[in-house]
Structure 1
Amino acid sequence: MRHQLTFPCEGATLAATLDDAPGTTGLLIVSGGNEIRSGAHRGIATLAQRIAEAGHPVFRFDRRGIGDSEGVNGGYTSSAPDIAAAIAVFRRAAPKLTRITAFGNCDAASALLLHQPLPLDALFLANPWTYENDDSEETDEPTLPPATAIRARYLARLKDPKSLIRLLKGEVDFRKLLRGLSALGKPPAPAAPDGLPARIEAALAGLGCPATILLATGDRTAQAFMENYPTALSRVPVERLASPSHSFAGDDGAWLAERILEKLD
Structure 2
Amino acid sequence: MSRLPLTFECQGARCGATLDMAPGKTGLLLVSGGNEIRAGAFNGQARLAAEIAAAGFPVFRFDRRGIGDSEGENRGFRRSTKDIAAALLAFRAMAPQVDRIVGFGNCDGASALMLAGGAGCDALVLSNPWTIEESEDATPPPAAIRARYLEKLKNPKEVIRLVSGGVDLGKLARGLLRASQPRTAPSSLAEEMRKGLAEFPGATRILLAESDRTAQVFAERWDAGDTRIARCPGADHAYSRPEARDWLRARLIEALGA
Same fold by TM (over 0.5)? yes
Distance in 2, Cα, partners of 1:232 & 1:121? 24
One-letter amino acid of the counterpart of residue 211, structure 2: G
Which one-letter code corresponds to 1:98 in the other structure? Answer: D
Structure 1, residues 162-213: CA drift from partner, whole Å, max 9, x if none? 4456667877666654443332233446446xx1021122223332211111
1:259 aligns with 2:251: yes
Q: Which one-letter code corresponds to 2:253 in the other structure?
A: L
2: CA distance, partners of 1:127 / 1:191: 16
TM-score normalised by L of structure 2: 0.89
Equivalent residue of 1:233, what SS?
Answer: coil
**Equivalent residue, structure 1, for 2:195:** 202
How does the TM-score come out when normalised to structure 1?
0.87
Q: Secondary structure at the match of 2:113?
A: helix
Deviates more, 1:179-188 or 1:42-51: 179-188
Equivalent position of 1:57 in the other structure: 58
Partner of 1:225: 218
Letter of the structure 2 residue corresponding to residue 29 of structure 1: L
CA distance in 1 between counterparts of 2:133 and 2:19 reads 33
Specify the SS of the correspondent of 1:33. coil
Q: Structure 1 pair 163/86, CA: closer, same or farther in 2 (3 Å)?
A: same
Q: Which amino acid aligns with 1:199?
A: E
Aligned to 2:209: 216
Secondary structure of 1:223's aligned partner = helix
Whether the 8 Å CA contact 1:123–1:210 is kept in 2: the answer is: yes
The answer to whether the 8 Å contact 2:52/2:59 transfers is yes
Which stretches in structure 2 are left out of the alignment for 5+ residues?
Answer: none
Partner Cα separation in structure 1 for residue 70 and residue 166 of structure 2: 45
With 93-102 and 161-170 compared, the bigger mean Cα shift is at 161-170
Cα distance between partner residues in 2 of 1:220 and 1:96? 39
Q: Provide, for residues 83-136 of structure 1, a one-character-per-residue CA deviation record: whole Å limited to 9, x for no partner.
A: 0110011111111111111100111111100012522110000111111237xx
1:157 correspondence with 2:152: yes
CA distance in 1, matches of 2:55, 2:229: 23
Give the Cα–Cα distance (whole angstroms) in 2 for the partners of residues 202 and 92 of structure 1. Answer: 30
Q: Structure 1: where are the runs of 5+ without partners?
A: 135-140
Instruction: Confirm whether residue 185 of structure 1 aligns to residue 185 of structure 2.
Output: no
1:13–1:69 contact (8 Å) kept in structure 2? yes
Matches within 5 A, 1:1-265: 1-116=2-117, 118-133=119-134, 142-163=137-158, 177-188=172-183, 190-191=185-186, 195-230=188-223, 233-234=226-227, 237-251=228-242, 252-265=244-257
Three-state SS of the structure 2 residue aligned to 1:258 is helix
Letter in 2 for 1:57: P
